Structures are given as C-alpha cells and as structure tokens.
Structure 1
Amino acid sequence: MASASTSKYNSHSLENESIKRTSRDGVNRDLTEAVPRLPGETLITDKEVIYICPFNGPIKGRVYITNYRLYLRSLETDSALILDVPLGVISRIEKMGGATSRGENSYGLDITCKDMRNLRFALKQEGHSRRDMFEILTRYAFPLAHSLPLFAFLNEEKFNVDGWTVYNPVEEYRRQGLPNHHWRITFINKCYELCDTYPALLVVPYRASDDDLRRVATFRSRNRIPVLSWIHPENKTVIVRCSQPLVGMSGKRNKDDEKYLDVIRETNKQISKLTIYDARPSVNAVANKATGGGYESDDAYHNAELFFLDIHNIHVMRESLKKVKDIVYPNVEESHWLSSLESTHWLEHIKLVLTGAIQVADKVASGKSSVLVHCSDGWDRTAQLTSLAMLMLDSFYRSIEGFEILVQKEWISFGHKFASRIGHGDKNHTDADRSPIFLQFIDCVWQMSKQFPTAFEFNEQFLIIILDHLYSCRFGTFLFNCESARERQKVTERTVSLWSLINSNKEKFKNPFYTKEIHRVLYPVASMRHLELWVNYYIRWNPRIKQQQPNPVEQRYMELLTLLDEYIKRLEELQLANSAQLSDPPTSPSSPSHMMPHVQTHFL
C-alpha cells in the first residue's frame, strides 16, 4: 500500500510547511539536509535573503537554487516557513530597485510564477549579490535560452511503474472495438509526412483510401484531416476531430473533402445530417476566411449541419486568467469578491466549454448523428471538447489510468502545443502563444467531479499534481508541441513520465467515494449557479483563505492509509529482526512470542 504522505507539490499552501520525512514521490526529505534533492538534481548556489511574504511581512531566510528548484528556508526562530518552487514554474524574473534605492527591502528580485503566485526577495546592495542570483535563476529557469537541457533530461528518478507504457494507441482503439467494417487503422502518417502535428497512427473511414486522405489534407489547416477520436459502443456514432477547411475569401471548395465528410456520415448508416460543431464564435470563423481559413458552408456540404459554440480564442483565455490572478493573489478583496470574479469572465468561459462538450456528448449518445469537431487548427478548443465529451460518455476515462490515456491521446498525441502554450524553459513571457487551455480543461474536469462525487476514481489532488507538473519540467510528459518532436528528442527514452510517479503511489490519488458505473453518461449542469472558482487550486497560496475542507470520510480514509503504511513498515522491520534472530545460533529456548513483539493496532 502506498504512502498517503503529502508531497511538496500539493494543493495546500507551502507557506507554513516544515520539512517532511522521506516520501515516496522520490524526493529526499532528510531533516538534516539543507534542501531536498531529486536524483540528478544539483545545488548551484545559496544566499541569505529577505523574503517579502505578502501575508506575514519580511522574513529572513536562506535561499537555495538547484538546477530544478528554488528552495527557501526561514532563519527566524518564530517562523517555520519553507518555499519549494520548481524553476519551471517561473515565468518572469525582474530586478527590483536600483543602486540608489534607500527604502527598506526595496532592492532585490521580483519573480512571477505560472501557478498563480509571485515571489519577492530583498538582497543586500553591496557585493553584486542580486546580479549573481538574477543570472543563476535566469540561466536555470530558462535553460532553452542558455543552450541548457530542461531538467526532465537530467532527472534520474526511478519508479516501480513505467508511465510511458500507459498509452498504447492500438490497444486503446481495440478497447473501443476498432478496427471494424467501417473504420480502419492507417499508418499513412507513420513518418509524420501527411501531418507533422498528428500522431503516427490514425483511424479513418474504411472506404477512404490513403490517396483520398492526402487530397483531403490539402484542404484542411495544417493538414489536420478529420480522424476518429471515439466510437459509441452501441449506436456506432462517432466523434471526429480536425482543423478548419481552407475556404478563404473566395469560398473555395474541395470535392474530396465534401465526399470524405459524407463517407464519415454514412459509417453508421445514419440518414440524418452529419453534425459539425465549430468551437469558435461565428464572427471569428468568418474573420478567419481573410487568412485562408473558414467553415463548412451549407452550399458545399449538403449533408452536414453546422453549429458555432462561441468559445473564445487563446488570447481571450490568457487575459481572463490574468484577471483571475489579479483578484486572488496576494489579497482577496472580500467586499467586492463576486463582482471581481464576474469581471474576469473565467467561469463564463468554463461554462461555454462545458456547454459545448455536453452538446457533443448528447448528440452522440442519442445515436441521431455522428459529430465532427474543430476550431481553427484543431489543437486547443477541439481537444477540450472531444476529451470532455469522451469523459462524459465513457466511464473508462473516469478511472485513474483511463484519464491518463485520455490526456495522452486527445492532448499529447494529437498535438496540443504544450511547449508554446506553457513556455517550458523559455524566457519570452510575453509570447502571444501562451494560453491556459489545458488548465481550463482540468478546471472543467474538477467542476464535473464536484457535481458527480462518486463518478471519478481520482481525487482533487490527482488533478492538482497534473497541473503542478505541467509547469515543473520534472517529467517529459508535457514537453514539446507534438509527437514527432518528442520522437526526435527521444523523450520516452531520456525522461521519466508523470504517470510513473502517480501510478507508483495510486492510493494517494484515489477518491474513496468512487463507484464504478459502466454505462452511465454524465451531463453536468453548465449554468453559472452551479459553477464555482476552484479555491484549492487558484487561492491555495493564501493562508488567510480557508481551504475547501475535504469530506470527513475522505480525511479519515487518508489517515488510515498513512497508519496502514506505518504498520507495513513496522512489520517489515520486525520481519528483518526476526530473520536476523533465526540466523543466529539460539542461546536459550524461545517462543515465537519472544521473537515477535506484540504490535498494537488502532483500527477498531
């Protein structure tokens, strides 16, 4: 049984944490050590600083910088404060104050983080102490700008489970009953020649030849042709994903593309039209014609019905999250909380994404029509909609390993641009490609788990650790923009998978209320009255905000897991002691009770 001890990357505030014992997340937490270190992690420098804590005021401490983390330990007797920040979380480092600054603690560094917090350190003005710390932090927080590897390529952690084996596309499609008489697996993209941002293995209509696929690819943005994501086990309707058609201002048509969509419609012998959900607002879809894109018009696609879902683009989402950060860190203004939250429009965007996914799921569950989903390029809003709809329709994806497969399949293998959206190891914090699309998806999953507390095998901590390591660069799971780039960099050979950490300690991430229901379709309520801000994620760094407490049963469950872990450890020690005694020549007759001390249990 795995330990239920909590790692440093968890949901509650690190502000007042003391160092823990060695835990099973691979981090050495020896109390005698100045800083916990992972295998492959090396200490670069340490320095005495003043941490300007936004909640408790200035705190004198020593900061340690490794090639993976920034670690601060308080030097004050009345404060046990510890900060443990993976350098991958850092978005921006700025110098605060100048040589002539005279105010107390006005000279130092301001650090902006990607996980809803900022850090501020004051340093002495003499001896270039700030310059040294700034240069070292910049070098290791943004290794790509300094021709250094991301930490994931230096990480030497070993786990008893290999997370890279979790997702096998052939096995996952076989689980769905594919290939069948209407759908086939094609290796046309084996060398990523058809589409460099798609996976090597694709599922396409049986009646479409590889030559047909090549012709369709010329009419879809980035060659991202319509391919199958999921098939309903009974009514055989499907969810298909792709990018926008290249219609342009002149209203171009492509007979191969039109025929291909008709073939998709006919795979389950449906008489009704193929339903196309375009994730964009209609105004944006029309505007995209000016850059060569567009949407499927009624004139060209007679057997298709098009609906716009009004989900805004990556730039709108980025600005919305910035506003959320402004209202949650460092201070929460209680008197204007509701109006401030409303002004961010964050929950409004969550609502639109969930509403769109519900429409996709409902259409497929009804058996009336297969569904094609796209946005502009088919790697942001499209991934949100297909993966959430699949989560609603297929209970397998609500298990821990099923969810990992869903993320690997719909996000990682189908080319969500993690490197561009997160900016791993990149110093360009103003990059217009940065956007919290994957965070938004995880938020939607959390909203669903709140409404269906028994439907998911995983708990909130599971979602939070995924988000923490989305940024940390400790694992190779979310690195690079697409499968072809990961293969070139040999990511599965040279890095550790996040699923190795999670699956070697599964008990910690299990929901004790989980009830497996195979055929249950989940339809969350996507109204503003039923959506809430995820306090345990967005406001976890603020010790003044009471965290949403876990259910007492869940809390007791975690306590019992910890207790069980201690008993197992004690039993192993006793067995070792016993075997040592048995190997020694006996000096006097002894009974088993002499050799095995009585262990008291507290379960009853």
Structure 2
Amino acid sequence: MFSGVKPDKKSKVKGITQLGSRSSSSSSSHSSNSNTTRSNSSSGSGGSSSSSSSNKGGGRKSHSGSSSGSSSGSGSPPAGTPPHTQMASHESLNSESKSSSLNSKLGHESMTVRDGSRTLRPDEPPLVPGEQLEGTAREVTYLCPYVGPKKGTLSVTNYRLIFRSPETDPPFELEVPLGVVSRIEKVGGANTSRGENSYGIEIFCKDIRNLRFAHKQENHSRRMVTEKLLHYAFPASHKLPFFAFGYCEQYPENGWSVYEPIAELKRQGLPTESWRITRINEQYELCETYPAVWAVPAAASDNDLRNVAAFRSRGRIPVLSWIHPESQATITRCAQPLVGVSGKRSRDDEAYIQHIMDANAQSHKIFIMDARPSVNAVANKAKGGGYESEDAYQNAEVQFLDIHNIHVMRESLRKLQEVCYPHIDNSHWLSNLEATHWLDHIRCVLSGALRIADKVESHKTSVVVHCSDGWDRTAQLTALSMLMLDGYYRTIPGFAVLLEKEWLSFGHKFAQRVGHGDDRHQDADRSPVFLQFVDCVWQILKQFPHAFQFTEDMLITILDHLYSCLFGTFLYNSERERIEKEVKTKTISLWSLILSNKADFENPLYSSNTKHHVLFPRTSMRHLCLWDKYYCRWNPSMRQQEPVHIRYKELLHVKEQLEKHVDELRKELAARQTHDSPRVASAIV
C-alpha cells in the first residue's frame, strides 16, 4: 500500500546519495548529476567534498585544436563529486567503484532514525535538508533494462523519486530528482492481463532515460504514486514552489556573489573612451529580458538607445559582451532588426552600428553574424523581422551561420535518445548516430563561434551577433567565442561568470526551454539549446585538455542541476523574473556547491600558462565525437576506461604521499645522526 508520511522537519538526514541507480554496497567513484552518489574520498580526487558549513554566504597565443587531446569517456560518474550532486547510472550496479569514507559519514549509519514519533524503516531513505517524505509504496518492481527486474520500495518526496531494493545482493538504489521528469504514463489498466509486471507506470526523463515500475494491482498503490509524482514533479502546473525554495543546505561559499556585472566589465577594461556603462534598463522598462546593466558605445546617448530598441525585436539592442584587451575589437549581441517585407530602415540603428565599429580604431569594417540559415532569415521578414541590408549598413558585412532553430534541435535530440537508450545497436552505431544529425548541429555551432573568434582575434574586427530573438543561438555563439578568446572563462569561477552573464542575465528562457515544473511535455518551446552549448564546450575541452581548469565532471554536474530544481540558478526565464521571485535570497546557487567543492572539479592537466592563449578548435566532423560519458552513461556496455585526468589525479596523490614519507624519513635520519654524534666523538677521544 502507498502510505502518505510527513516527517518532522527536525529529523532531516544529510547525505542522501546519488540521484541515479547504484549498488548500495559500493559508492560510485564518479559524479554525474543531481541524481547523487556520495563523493569518493579515496578515489584520488585531490580534495574532499564539503557540503555543509556556514553559509553567506599580456601576449596572446593562438592555438589550433588537435584530435589528440585526451578524451574523458568513462561511463561511470566522475570522482570526488560532492554529496547531493552526484548521480550514479543504472549500470553502476556492477561498477568496480571504490568505497567512500563519506558514505559512512553521510547517512548509511543513519538508515534507521527517529522521525518525530516514529522510526524510519530500513527501506526508507535519509533526506536532504528541506526534503519531506510524502509516501511509500512497497512490493514495487523496477524493470531495469540492463540487469532485469528488481523488487523493492518506491518512495516519493517533495524532491525525488527513490527506489530501494535492500534485499538484493548487492543492495540496489535508484534516485531521480523530480525536476528531471518530463512526463508520466500509466501502463496497463483494470482489464489488462494480470501477467507479471504488466501493470505500473513509466517515467520519461529529460536526461535521456526512461524508468518503468510495475505495481501489484491488488495493492492499489499505482494511483497514489502517480498522484504524488504529478503533484511534485510539476510544481509550476500546480502553482507550487520549486523545491529550491525549501532546500536549506549550507555551503562555505556563497555562489550568488560569483558574478557582479560592473566588476566583470571592469575586468574587461571598461569604461573606456569609446564605451560606457549605462543603467538605463535598471527597472527593466526598455527591455524586460535584458539585464539591468549594459555596456554601450560612448557616442550613443540614452535617447539613441531607446530609438534603437524600437527597431530591434523585443527591444534587444546591440550591447557589449566582450572587448579585446589589445585591439578593442568587440563582440556585441542583439536580436534581429524589424525590417519586415517592406524593408524598413532605422537611421538610429544604422548610426548605432557605426558607433560600435568606430569604437574599434583597428578596423574600418564590422561583421554582422546572423546565426540563422539565410532562407530562415528571409522568411522572418514576413513576420516583421529580417536581417540587416549591406546597402543600409555601410562598412558592414552580413554572414549567415546556418544554425537551425529550436524545433530542429529538439527533434535531433529525440533521435539521439533513441540511439543511446536503452540499448545500442553496435552493428549500426555510426549510421544511426549520423541519422540524428546531432554532431552536424554541434559542428555548425562550433564553426560559427570559431568564425567570430577569428574575426576578433586575427582580423581585429568587431562582430555583432544575433539570431531571431537573441536568446538561444546568440547565447551559444557569444559564450563559445568568448571561451575561445578569454582564458578567464576557462577557469572554474570564470565559467560560472560566463554562464551568469551570457546565458542567465541576457535572458535565455531556461524555464521554457527546459520545462521546469511544467507538465506540458509537448510544449513547442522546449529545446536542448543549453545542452548543445555544453556539448560544444566539452568538444573544445577534449581538444585542449590543458587549457581548462575544470573537467567534464563539472559540465555534467551543471547539466544535471539544469533539471533538478535543487538550486535557484537556472530557474525562470530572465534576470527580472528571478529578482521578482527573490531567487538570490530564497534559494541556493549552484555555484555555492561547485565553489565549495572546487577540488572535486579541478583538472590536474590544467596549465595556467594557457590563460592568455586563444583556442582555435578544429570543427570538421572527423575531429568531433559523441559525448558518450553524458549521453550513454546509463548503458553499461558503453562504459569506457577511467578518464586520464582521474588516473593522473590519483598518481599525484600517491606522489604527494610518497614525498611526505620521504621527508619524514629524512627528518628521522637527521634526528638519529644528531643524537648519535656526541657518542661517536667521545669514542674517538
């Protein structure tokens, strides 16, 4: 039977493990998402994860990418990820994972705890701070596509779905944040054949997997489980708060302070004679999807900005993203001009683009990179949009980057999911992968960003970037080109700044693209735009393993919490909405977790000498590959050998221990020699 339980808030247990399936007898040595495994302190991670503490809390070189870069492709989750964030995969049942000291610290000994006036049963899970157990269904079977049926207990909390099978050897556990759930379907009905495992529910997830649970009809548990799941997996559809507003873990670092717009603009060297900082949008009146603080050409007055906003889609005018420290060439971003079929012009907009070009004394030309295929840009004229005419914009060259829209990307990911989960057809792997066109799209995005970086670095020319509305493909292109040009963004805090700036503050519609808490799984606004960007980052990291301070484990953790709704970072569609919902004061930032556990994400191969290097990755198809550690992580047949950086980190740890031992022996030897020297002297006398 499914029993509703509301535990006393005082009895919340820290240290719930991974949000994925795993064997309880061994802790997975890798992190992979908000489906969590406890961090592995013995895996050579170079640092222990600390999840609770007090809270408040020159010359530039161009590099070309090489396919010989180290590829981290282990199918199991990465080492040393902090508690509450790691995620074991289904295949981790048989993983050769190492034991974790954090497992003993963070919950296994707390499996039976007092919960108000009752004692938690051994099959009931410990909870994270702010989590409440809403109900438990026993005698449920999880139909694992890899190891077969597992019988156990299914628990639903206000944050996760947890399946535990403690009677199996080894014990089995599966945890999934409800934010990952895309849709829930009932399997079988009252008149269905009573064959074994024919009656239950199937859960479709946003992280490329489906989960199926069989219930006994006579237990009448399916209806209650489904109701609880629908209620808590889709809070936005039920006018409920996201779990992030109840999560009350404490971290040493306050992630909300990682990005401050004025400080970042000053780091880039602003203000200058040619650029100024304006707060014209402080109340979000000129453009509600833009941030409050902008950097604009000094030659443009605030009144000019208002006139330009009237000619740009949704008021998203060209504003500064990045400025070259030497040439002053810039990357600016915006939305399409409102040209329409009649070919309207705006003298203010044309003059404004000229101001951007004039701010760069190194060049008398400017490039306008339109992310769309040219046919799509032309079609947008019928909707009142369009693109810049080279006749109207003097000294400007318009180039189309041929990146398809959100609907094409959504369909491509759907096909990729069919190829990767649950089973992989090895005999047709390459042809099936090619048919998804996923890597074709990755190539287009990377090629576009590379073209922008090359114009700025090699040609010292300013670039204006836009798509239709300027919050999807534009964000991909500006962020990736900035990552190539500026080594700061390749550090752990710098990457956080990059995402906060180019994705969050400039209004990428995370809520709509991900579908946070929304039960409309067929919503046409959903699309894997941000996932595609992170995939591109991984492709660059793979080619330049020494140029990034972080590993792919951090990228996977970010993607997992894109869906989890454990942190407030990715909630809502714009800076304005997050301020209205008081996200910074009522939720915890994902960067709090990452910065508090920085050692777990550090790349031991990183060379700080690359900080001033410009990266020019190779973007031909033969240099790109599927990120199987992310897309295929649930499938045990795709597990690769341990990533090089993890093995290297382990060897560094061993080296450190040996060096300490040598120092101790030297001190001991010196002490003995000092102690023995008087006796030797007297003997000689």
TM-score by length of 1: 0.90
- Counterparts of 1:518 and 1:476 in 2: how far apart (Å)? 30
Shift of 1:371: 0.2
Letter in 2 for 1:65: V
1:521 equivalent to 2:614? Answer: yes
Kindly indicate whether structure 1 or structure 2 has the higher relative contact order, using CA contacts under 8 Å at least 6 residues apart.
2
Q: Deviation at 1:519?
A: 2.0
Q: CA contact under 8 A between 1:311 and 1:381: conserved in structure 2?
A: yes
Could you tell me how far apart the structure 2 residues matched to 1:449 and 1:80 are?
36
Instruction: Indicate conservation of the 8 Å contact 1:237/1:370, yes or no.
Output: yes
Give, in angstroms, the shift of residue 272 of structure 1: 2.9
Q: Is the 8 A contact 1:11 1:537 kept in 2?
A: no
**Contact 1:27/1:36 (<8 A) preserved:** no
Give a deviation string over 1:3-38, Cα, whole Å, max 9, x none: 3644564465244459986749x9755452531321
Structure 2 distance, partners of 1:487, 1:369, is 36
Q: Is the 8 A contact 1:2 1:504 kept in 2?
A: no
Query: How many residues are aligned here?
Result: 564
Q: CA deviation at 1:452?
A: 0.4
Write the letter of the residue equivalent to 1:185: I
For residues 259-338 of structure 1, what are the structure 2 equivalents within 5 Å? 259-338=351-430
Q: Aligned runs of 1:412-427 on 2, under 5 Å?
A: 412-427=504-519
Alignment deviations for residues 507-542 of structure 1 (CA, whole Å, 9 cap, x no partner): 100000000123210011001101010111001011
**2:12 matched residue in structure 1:** none
Cα contact 1:91–1:113 (8 A) shared by 2: yes
**1:10 and 1:464 in contact (8 A); partners too:** no
Structure 1 residue 285, shift from structure 2 partner: 0.2
What residue number does 2:559 align with?
Answer: 467
Which residue of structure 2 aligns with residue 196 of structure 1? Answer: 288
Shift of 1:437: 0.4
Change (3 A) 1:46 1:19: farther
Query: Counterpart of 1:80 in structure 2: which amino acid?
Result: P
Residue 349 to residue 399, structure 1, CA distance change in 2 (3 Å): same
Q: Is the 8 A contact 1:15 1:82 kept in 2?
A: no
Select 1:541's aligned residue among 624, 634, 649: 634
Please report how far the alpha carbon of residue 360 of structure 1 lies from its aligned counterpart in structure 2 after TM superposition: 0.2
The 5 Å alignment of 1:199-598 reads 199-516=291-608, 517-551=610-644, 554-558=646-650
Q: CA deviation at 1:544?
A: 2.2
Counterpart of 2:126 (choices 23, 32, 36) is 36
SS of the counterpart of 2:149?
strand
Query: What is the deviation of 1:94?
Result: 0.4
Matched, 1:131 2:226: no
d(CA) in 1 for partners of 2:649, 2:589: 27
Instruction: Verify the 8 A CA contact 1:357 1:389 in the aligned structure 2.
Output: yes
- 1:155-187 CA distance string (max 9 Å, x none): 011101000000011110000000110000000
- Counterpart CA distance in 2 for 1:564 and 1:105 is 53
Task: Specify whether residues 292 and 562 from structure 1 end up closer, same or farther in structure 2 by C-alpha distance, changes over 3 A only.
Answer: farther
Q: What is the CA deviation profile of residues 228-262 of structure 1, one whole-angstrom value per residue up to 9, with x for unaligned ones? A: 00000000000000000000111111110011001
- Residue 35 of structure 2 corresponds to which residue in structure 1? none
Q: For the Cα contact (< 8 Å) 2:91–2:146, is it kept in 1?
A: no
Partners of 1:189 and 1:195 within 8 A in 2? yes
Name the amino acid aligned to 2:620: S
Indicate the SS of the match to 2:320: strand
Is the partner of 2:151 in helix, strand or coil? strand
In 1, Cα distance between the equivalents of 2:387 and 2:219? Answer: 61
The CA distance in 2 between the partners of 1:139 and 1:50, in whole Å, is 22
The answer as to whether partners of 2:90 and 2:635 remain within 8 angstroms in 1 is: no
Q: 1:226 to 1:487 in 2, by over 3 A?
A: same
SS of match in other structure, 1:72: strand
How do residues 123-202 of structure 1 correspond to structure 2 at under 5 angstroms? 123-202=215-294
Amino acid at match of 2:433: L
- How far residue 74 of structure 1 moved from its aligned partner, in angstroms, is 1.4
Distance 1:167 1:132, change over 3 A: same
| Equivalent-residue separation in structure 2 for 1:320 and 1:164 (angstroms) | 34
The structural deviation recorded for 1:557 is 1.6
8 Å CA contact 1:28, 1:38 repeated in 2 = no
Shift of residue 84 of structure 1? 1.1
Q: Which runs of 5+ in 1 are unaligned?
A: 566-604
The separation in 2 between residues aligned to 1:564 and 1:541, in whole angstroms, is: 34
- Aligned residue among 199, 211, 235 for 1:119: 211
Residue 79 of structure 1 deviates from its aligned partner by 4.2
Deviation track 1:85-130 (CA, whole Å, cap 9, x = no partner) reads 1110000000001111112211100100000110000001124311
Q: 1:543-575 CA distances to partner (integer Å, 9 max, x unpaired)?
A: 222235211x6325248769999xxxxxxxxxx
* Offset, 1:147: 1.9
Paired letter, 1:36:
P
Amino acid at match of 2:277: I
Give me the whole-angstrom Cα distance separating, in 2, the residues matched to 1:21 and 1:549.
17
- Counterpart Cα distance in 2 of 1:135 and 1:19: 38
In structure 2, do the counterparts of structure 1 residues 445 and 99 end up closer, same or farther at CA, with 3 Å as the change threshold?
Answer: same
Letter in 2 for 1:54: P
Q: How far apart in 1 are the matches of 2:438 and 2:363?
A: 39
Q: Check whether the contact 1:21–1:31 (CA below 8 A) recurs between aligned residues.
A: no
The alpha-carbon distance between structure 1 residues 562 and 16, as it changes in their structure 2 partners (threshold 3 A), is farther
Aligned to 1:2: 48
1:64 to partner: Cα distance: 1.3
The match for 1:81 among 166, 169, 172 is: 172
> C-alpha distance in 1, partners of 2:127/2:88?
21
Structure 1 residues 544 and 101, CA gap change in structure 2 (3 angstroms): same
1: CA distance, partners of 2:108 / 2:364: 61
- Matched residue SS, 2:647: helix
Distance in 1, matches of 2:257 and 2:551, equals 22
TM-score normalised by the chain length of structure 2: 0.80
> Matches of 1:386 and 1:561 in 2, distance apart?
38
SS of 1:126's equivalent in the other structure is: helix
Distance change >3 Å, CA 325–CA 27, structure 1 → 2: farther
Distance of aligned partners of 1:12 and 1:146 in 2 relative to their CA distance in 1, 3 Å threshold:
closer
Flag the 1:271–1:537 CA change in 2: closer, same or farther, 3 A: closer
Match of 2:142 among 44, 47, 51: 51
Deviation at 1:137, TM superposition (A): 0.5
Q: CA RMSD in A?
A: 2.1
- Aligned-pair distance for 1:398? 0.4
1:170 aligned partner, one-letter code: I
Shift of 1:271: 4.4
- Percent identity between matched residues is 60
CA-to-partner distance for each residue in 1:276-330, whole Å, 9 max, x for gaps?
A: 0000000000000111100001221122100000000000000000000000000
Contact 1:8 1:14 survives alignment (8 Å): no
Match of 1:163, as an amino acid? Answer: G
| Alignment check: 8 A CA contact 1:60 1:75 kept | no
